[in-house]
Structure 1
Amino acid sequence: MSRTDYFRDPNAPKANSVVPSVTAVVRDERGDILLIHKTDNDLWALPGGGHDVGESVAQTVIREVEEETGISVTVEGIVGLYTDPQHVMAYDDGEVRQQFSICFHARPAGGTLRTSSESKEVRWVSPTDLDDLDIHPSMRLRIDHGLDDSRAAPYIG
């Protein structure tokens, strides 16, 4: 399913749903960040996705990162909460979702990089190479916050 992101666009369609979701700033021992090249909007992004009934939000992070990248992670803290009502995502089925995302710090705990139906490329990216990638402004904000160690808050599950 394709998706169009609208960020502070006065011509954006009106939201008709809110789905709690997560993203994760996963950094390896070199400080590189785990990113995916998404299939739905052709942009680079942090791995993440929707929260499912019956799981904790930390379990959502672990499941989504592994599903999209092949990497298992340990959740370490919270980067921030992103709920800007002026950021909506329109899907081709008519859903227009208001952003509601919790971004976490996580560290890799194993696994091997691989793609999924949601990611056409997965790789570790040096922070110095971020400007070379097509990243949505709201995602870049989360990445920048995730790189700012002064913003880190512990996650207590």
Structure 2
Amino acid sequence: MARRDYEDDPGAPVANSLVPAASAVVVDDDGRVLLQRRVDNGMWALPGGRMELGESIGDCAIRETYEETGVIVEVTGIVGTYTHPGHVFAYDDGEVRQEFSVCLLARPTGGTLRSSDESFEVRWFTPEETDGLPMVPSIRKRLDDWRAGNGPVIR
């Protein structure tokens, strides 16, 4: 399903849903970060997605990371919370979702790197290599917040 991100755009459609979600900054022992190239917008992104009933936000990040990248992770901390009402995602089925995401810090513990039906490319990058990658501003914020190392942020 196609998705378009709007942030502080006066022409953005009005949100009609709010869904808790988690994303993960997964960092390996070499300091590289795990990113996926999304099928729905062609941009690089952190693994993550919608929280399901019966799971914790940490379990959501672990599940989504495995589903989208094949990497098994352990949550080690929090990067921040991202709930800006001016940031919405418009899907081609008519859903317009207001951002509500908790970004967690994680480390890989197993699995095999692979793409999925949501990602057509998955790779490890040094922090500096992420600078030139095409990604939506909200993902860039999460990476910048992690790289700044200022502890959990609330946006």
1:21-48 alpha-carbon deviations (Å, 9 max, x no partner): 0000000111110000000111100000
Residue 66 of structure 1 corresponds to: 66
Taking the aligned partners of 1:131 and 1:145, their CA distance within structure 2 comes to 13
Residue 118 of structure 2 corresponds to: 118
Residue 51 of structure 2 corresponds to: 51
TM-superposed CA distance for 1:149, in Å, is 2.6
TM-superposed CA distance for 1:148, in Å, is 2.6
For the aligned residues, what is the CA RMSD? 1.1
Residue 5 of structure 1 corresponds to: 5
TM-superposed CA distance for 1:84, in Å, is 0.5
5+ unaligned residues in a row in structure 1: which ranges? none
Matched letter for residue 36 of structure 1: Q
Taking the aligned partners of 1:55 and 1:72, their CA distance within structure 2 comes to 17
- Alignment coverage as a number of residue pairs: 153
Secondary structure of the structure 2 residue equivalent to 1:139? helix
Structure 1 residue runs of 4 or more that deviate by more than 4 Å after TM superposition: none
TM-score normalized by the length of structure 1: 0.94
Taking the aligned partners of 1:28 and 1:72, their CA distance within structure 2 comes to 12
Please give the residue correspondences for 1:91-110 in structure 2 after superposition, counting only pairs within 5 Å. Answer: 91-110=91-110
